[in-house]
Amino acid sequence: MKFKHVFIFLTIFISLNLFGQYKETPFIQEYKIDYPFNNNENINVRTIVVDKSDNVWAGTADGLFTLNEKDKKWMPRLNEENQGPINDLFIDSKGELWIAAWNGLYHGNINNLKKIEEIKEPTVVVNKVNNQITAITISSIYTNHKSSWISEKLKTSRQIRAFIPDIKNGYYLATGKGLYHKTANELKLFQNEDELVSDNLFGIEFSQDGNLWIGGLGGVTVYKDDKRIKSYTPKDGIPNAWVKTVAKGPDGTMWIGTEFGIAKYDGKLWSVRNSNRWLINDKVNDIAFDKNGNAWIATDGGVSAIKNRQMTLAQKENYYKNITEKRHIREPYLVEKCRFLTPGDTNNYFPKDDDNDGQYTSMYLVMESLRYAVTKNPKAKQNAKKAFDALKFLQTVTETNGFFARTVVPSTWKTMADPNEIIDDREWAKRLVEEPRRSRLEEHWVLSKDKKWYWKRGTSSDEVTGHMYGYLYYYDLVADENEKEVVKNHITKIVNYIIDNGYVFVDIDGKHTQWGVWSPEFINNNQDWIVERGINSIEILSYLKLAYHVSGDEYYQKEYYKLLNDYNYKKNIIEPKSILPARRTYIDDELLALVYPVLIKYETDPELIELYKKSLDKWYDALKNDDNPYFYFKYNGLANNKLNLDRSIFLLQDNPLDLIRWTVDNSKREDISLTRKPIMEDLQTHKLVSPSERGIMRWDNNPWQAVQGDGGMTESDGVYWRLAYWLGRYHNLIQ
């Protein structure tokens, strides 16, 4: 197809067969490689070209360089006497290079460059017009004719930025004072407001359909036959008003380089490429393409190549799997983010603990259980068992009757999140006023009896819910009969502990943890817990249903009905979560996705089934516009539906290969306005950008958040994407 986004859309459309399945086909996956200059110093790269031999030439404020791509080294190409600011580069039809430099014009190839002696003043631009090389200096126009150079006085503004031949042996000049069109008979100037977005111009390029795109301050003006036919400004999708260059990709896509990244237009949709995920520096000066369609971006900080490859979703899953296994599994088989000492330096990474290590490892457990159910791959079963054993260890390490730790780290670790502290009465009074439900927890980390581990206290309801979700899928899809018995005993031990303590999760100090509360006393009668009323009611019901499912013990069913009927939890679950902007959280969206499966799959009472399905529908209705393939697949699997399938496939495809959590600041984009919706506590974008334009985020994060990421200091484990993919495979939504 002509345009990449159209190609992706049609590929998805054609691949969706009559049964509502997506049959995997290759798609175009973009990824970035940076080519910083020596010693990684920032350098102003003004212009860039790729010759027919795939040599990459960069013209910088400091001189001319070529890239040794294998070693990622830039080699100077002019002697020290002639190295200096390079203004423009051009490759002619013979594959030879022309260089507009601070001290004249140069010509040649990778092996030999010569200075044109007839031109001795700063040369600004160079191109080929009417089959003749034409170079423009600060005062003259030089044309090569039969091995000699003919000059004429420059009659336009001397503030020249770009130069391109027309289709009738003339040329266009983009200047700081407007657009000039030189033909055989006249020299036209366009600079009025009705002719251009502004007359401060920087880049010009012909589009696939022969229209002239003129970029400058304010945006892009499009001409056809010297008449303005349309304009593109930040309100249309360009992230910044300072357009510095315009380039046409090999597939016809128009690339707009700005001072805040790149905007690409495929004829229907705009997409933005900025931040360190895509560019070494957001100030883009020039764009060139090689014969494979890779884009080479000249910026104020060096050169980035946005490359492309064909891959299927299965290949992408395998790519993420390698990242997971290489950098994100730590003893005793917990799966989490890793951290870097230097942003994005994957050669020097370290494990990182998190409050929710247990829940995230449980998501990995579900993912591997689904993978095993679909493929019967013994490695998936082995990984699932290791993850289950690690989660079980979080309980046994506490040496309690059912309480389990948030996480564990080897006792050799010197630095962990939330170190132990001493809270004096004044500080505690201050914290208690700020959050009356707070638990006074000073000893966060406890040394295990064998002195091999530190385990973390304060386990939340999120963690319990996450564990139970993993146990359900491991029990149903992976465990053999002997393993099922182990899983059953582990689940019932935890659930008994919760029941015996009055439906709260009691820490080793005899008090419930800050968030481990499901009892009617709190949920129904304490106004401080009104926000959690729906979700915590559904959570505890799911634990009881799971315990009954694995044990068959009517005791759990009795407790289940007692909460439903005697304590009116049946009413609580009708409204699963609050969608008021001041109360809404995206963590609750994910937690509800974890509790519905066991309730809907194993409930037999028609009235309760109907109730849970209504609750499920309300959950989906609140997030249906959030572009979350995991939630979409979850809903379709439980509701036996096929909603948002094509969108889900696009979202999986569009997710970046790079899982480093670079900061993406969409609040600085001029095509976006800020709002306090859907939730009030975050600054959010008025439109939801696609995954390739936002930070790497799990499914419990707010996709509308304007600023995401941590500066590239950590990397996601990729389980969030893999979980969604295997859920789609498991429910036969992806074939």
pLDDT, mean of residues 312-329: 98
Distance CA 690, CA 672 (A): 13
Does residue 713 lie within any of the structural domains?
no
Are 370 and 466 members of one domain?
Answer: yes
- Whether pLDDT at 11 is above 80: no
What band does 719 get if pLDDT is binned at 50, 70 and 90?
Answer: very high
Does residue 658 lie within any of the structural domains?
no
Instruction: State the DSSP string of 586-627.
Output: HHHHHHHHHHHHHHHHH---HHHHHHHHHHHHHHHHHHTTS-
Domain extent, residue 481, equals: 333-420+460-517
Q: Select from 273, 289, 321 the last residue of a domain.
A: 273
Distance CA 465, CA 483 (A): 21
Q: For residue range 435-488, what is the model confidence (pLDDT) as tens digits?
A: 999 999 999 999 999 999 999 999 999 999 999 999 999 999 999 999 999 999
Q: For residue range 352-387, what is the model confidence (pLDDT) as tens digits?
A: 999 999 999 999 999 999 999 999 999 999 999 999
Structure tokens at 662: 């670079």
Structure tokens at 538: 């559904």
Distance CA 417, CA 355 (A): 8
Structure tokens at 454: 């530190």
Q: For residue range 574-613, what is the model confidence (pLDDT) as tens digits?
A: 999 988 999 999 999 999 999 999 999 999 999 999 999 9
pLDDT, mean of residues 729-734: 96
Q: For residue range 627-640, what is the model confidence (pLDDT) as tens digits?
A: 999 999 999 999 99
Instruction: Determine how β-strand 674-675 pairs with β-strand 707-708.
Output: unpaired
Q: For residue range 636-692, what is the model confidence (pLDDT) as tens digits?
A: 999 999 999 999 999 999 999 999 999 999 999 999 999 999 999 999 999 999 999
Structure tokens at 13: 């459309």
Are 338 and 205 members of one domain?
Answer: no
Mean pLDDT of the chain: 95
The label of the residue with tokens 């910044």 reads 240
- Whether pLDDT at 6 is above 90: no
Around 689, how many Cα atoms within 13 Å sit in the side-chain half-sphere? 29
What band does 42 get if pLDDT is binned at 50, 70 and 90?
Answer: confident
What band does 19 get if pLDDT is binned at 50, 70 and 90?
Answer: low
Q: Vertex 664, ends 29 and 367: CA angle to 5°?
A: 55
In this prediction the pTM is 0.94
CB 323 within 8 A of CB 717: yes
Are 363 and 218 members of one domain?
Answer: no
- Whether pLDDT at 567 is above 90: yes
Does residue 406 lie within any of the structural domains?
yes
Q: For residue range 518-555, what is the model confidence (pLDDT) as tens digits?
A: 999 999 999 999 999 999 999 999 999 999 999 999 99
Does residue 177 lie within any of the structural domains?
yes
CB 115 within 8 A of CB 97: no
Are 361 and 253 members of one domain?
Answer: no
Distance CA 586, CA 680 (A): 12
Q: Select from 475, 501, 517 the last residue of a domain.
A: 517
Q: What is the DSSP letter of 562?
A: I
> pLDDT over 70 for what percent of the chain?
97
Count CB atoms within 10 A of the CB of residue 84. 16
Does residue 534 lie within any of the structural domains?
no
Structure confidence at residue 1 (pLDDT): 37
Are 266 and 340 members of one domain?
Answer: no
Q: What is the CATH number of the domain that holds 222?
A: 2.130.10.10
What band does 265 get if pLDDT is binned at 50, 70 and 90?
Answer: very high
pLDDT, mean of residues 179-195: 95
Question: Domain tally for the chain?
Answer: 2
Count CB atoms within 10 A of the CB of residue 539. 21
Q: Select from 517, 538, 558 the last residue of a domain.
A: 517
Are 191 and 259 members of one domain?
Answer: yes
Structure confidence at residue 39 (pLDDT): 73
Structure confidence at residue 549 (pLDDT): 98
Q: For residue range 108-163, what is the model confidence (pLDDT) as tens digits?
A: 999 999 999 999 999 999 999 999 999 999 999 999 988 899 999 999 999 999 99
CB 160 within 8 A of CB 173: yes
Are 385 and 238 members of one domain?
Answer: no
Are 473 and 363 members of one domain?
Answer: yes
Are 267 and 198 members of one domain?
Answer: yes
- Whether pLDDT at 18 is above 70: no
Does residue 234 lie within any of the structural domains?
yes
> pLDDT over 90 for what percent of the chain?
94
Does residue 396 lie within any of the structural domains?
yes
Does residue 127 lie within any of the structural domains?
no
